[in-house]
Amino acid sequence: EDKVVQSPLSLVVHEGDTVTLNCSYEVTNFRSLLWYKQEKKAPTFLFMLTSSGIEKKSGRLSSILDKKELFSILNITATQTGDSAIYLCARISSGSARQLTFGSGTQLTVLP
Amino acid sequence: DTAVSQTPKYLVTQMGNDKSIKCEQNLGHDTMYWYKQDSKKFLKIMFSYNNKELIINETVPNRFSPKSPDKAHLNLHINSLELGDSAVYFCASSPGQGFSYEQYFGPGTRLTVT
């Protein structure tokens, strides 16, 4: 079951802080890594990472993949209360099956 | 307008019953999915349908059966419900043929089996 492991499980910060969320994954048949933000109930797509060392950015969020060390990080700078959510990391396997495996998520709480 | 909708939002039922969860998307997408999120927040893909054909079927019990009457709908039918089926079930859709990395999720259905 531990094909995707996220840390920390929960994090509480204050507005303006910078946070780094971690995701490590199993290398077998690895194709890509995804990050999602889950507010209330439904996850929304953030990033897809396939190549190592190439940073993807969207506003205050950025993410990078390290295929040598088998992990990815999601950075959020100048956090806002609206960033409070569960952040999910997911691994896509290669091949025709295209299995998608999610980690358990990191619960981020941003206090005013 | 809701892009991906699910009904019901909450479902409480007893063990042994048969129930269905409906999903509809108005995005014109070709592929739809069902996910199960358990109490530990693990989100697992269950099924994916592309133009009424099953293209992914994770190792879920055969008590679970997806039914797609048309491209815009993918319903999840569950027979002989068990306590372990209690979870939040998400429907999702994506454009294009086959599995996509950018999926649009519905609001979820919280199933409680007593």
The amino acid occupying position A7 is: S
A99–B45 C-beta distance less than 8 A: yes
Give dist(CA A42, CA B93) in Å, integer: 12
- Average confidence (pLDDT) over A42-53: 84
Give the bridge partners for A57, in sequence order: A62
Which segments in chain B show pLDDT lower than 70?
1-2, 40-41, 52, 55-58, 99, 101
Q: What is the pLDDT of residue B58?
A: 62
The amino acid occupying position B13 is: T
Q: How many residues are given for chain B? A: 114
User: Measured between CB atoms, which of B41, B107, B108 is closest to A104?
Assistant: B41
Task: Assign A39 a pLDDT band (cuts: 50, 70, 90).
Answer: confident
B101–A48 C-beta distance less than 8 A: yes
B23 Cα distance to chain centroid: 7
Q: What is the pLDDT of residue A77?
A: 97
| pLDDT tens figures, B42-66 | 777 888 888 767 766 667 888 999 9
Q: Where are chain B's structural domains?
A: 4-113
Q: Comparing A1-10, A62-71, A80-89, B54-63, which segment has the lowest mean pLDDT?
A: B54-63
Q: Comparing A28 with B2, which gets the higher pLDDT? A: A28
> Taking CA atoms, what residue in A is nearest to B4?
A42
Q: Are the beta carbons of A15 and A83 closer than 8 angstroms?
A: no
Q: What is the pLDDT of residue B56?
A: 66
Domain boundaries A4-111, corresponding CATH code? 2.60.40.10
CA atoms within 13 A on the CB side of A5: 9
| pLDDT tens figures, A17-26 | 999 999 999 8
pLDDT greater than 60 at residue A98: no
Among A102, A106, A108, the residue to mutate for chain B (most B Cβ within 10 A): A102
Q: What is the pLDDT of residue A67?
A: 87
B88–A45 C-beta distance less than 8 A: no
Give dist(CA A10, CA A109) in Å, integer: 8
Q: Which residues contact A11 (CB under 8 A, 6 or more apart)?
A: A19, A21, A106, A107, A108, A109
User: Measured between CB atoms, which of A34, A43, A103 is closest to B101?
Assistant: A34
> Contacts of residue A42 in chain B, CB cutoff 8 Å?
90, 105-108
CATH classification for the domain delimited by B4-113, as one of 2.170.130.30, 2.60.40.10, 2.60.40.1930, 3.40.50.720: 2.60.40.10
**DSSP assignment string, chain A:** -TTEEEE-SEEEEETT--EEEEEEE--TTEEEEEEEEE-SS-EEEEEEE-STT--EEETTEEEEEETTTTEEEEEE-S--GGG-EEEEEEEEE-STT--EEE---EEEEEE-
Q: Comparing B52 with A73, which gets the higher pLDDT? A: A73
The amino acid occupying position B89 is: Y
